[in-house]
Structure 1
Amino acid sequence: MWPMLAVAGPSLGDGDVGSFVDADGRKTVWSIEKGSPRLDGESTGWGTGPPVGGGSAPVAVLTSRSTASSGEAVTVASRGRPDTAPSGRTPQASPPETHGTDCPTGRPST
C-alpha cells in the first residue's frame, strides 16, 4: 500500500489519512507529510513530493468491485479530503492486513 500512497500523497495533502486498529484497540496511524506516506509519524522509505495544487486540487476516486488492497488504502485516504468526488462501486473491503486475525467477538475475519 505504501507505493500507492507515495504516488497519491502529493494529491492527498499533508495530514492523517487512515489507520489500522488491532484487536486490542491500538491504533497505528497512516499520514502524509510533504507528499510522503508515514506510519505513526515514521517514514515508510519513500521520498517527498511537491503537493499537487497545494494538496487541494480536485480529485476523482474511481472504484469497482475489483478495487482491493492498496487501491482500498488510497480510497480510505481520500475520504474526508476537500474537493474529492468518489465514484463507482463499493471496493472489495478486504485489505490483506486484516486476513488471519480474529475479531473481538471471537469470529474470524475473512
Structure 2
Amino acid sequence: LQLMSGLGGRMRPVFNVTISNVPGPQETLYYEGAKLEAMYPVSLIAHGGALNITCLSYAGALNFGFTGCRDTLPSMQRLAVYTGEALDDLEKLILPPKAKPKKAKAGKTGKA
C-alpha cells in the first residue's frame, strides 16, 4: 500500500518481517544426468523491512532462505543456526524414536 500510494520510504512500515512458503516439486529433478540435491530460496526485502524468511519444499525436504538487513540484523548466521537447532528439537518431539535393530538369539538356527 505504501508503494502504491507513493509513501514508501517516507513513513515507517506496518511490519518488518515477511515469511512465505513456496511449494516446489516433490519429485527429484535431474539435468543431463546430474541430480539436483537441494533448492534454497532467495528473496527480496521491501523498504523498511528487516527480515524475509522463505521456505521452499523440494523432494520431501523443506529448505529455508533468510534474507536480512545488515544494519538491523547484524548476525544473521545465529538466526540460521538457532532455526536448525529448533527444528532438530521439534523433530525429536514429533517423530517416534528410531527402532533399535534386534539382536540374533544364540542357539539353533534351523539349518541342517
TM class by shorter chain equals under 0.3
> TM-score, normalised on structure 1?
0.22
Q: Higher helix fraction: Structure 1 or Structure 2?
A: 1
**Greater RCO, CA 8 A, separation 6+:** 1
Q: Higher strand fraction: Structure 1 or Structure 2?
A: 1
> TM-score, normalised on structure 2?
0.22
Q: Which has the larger radius of gyration?
A: 2
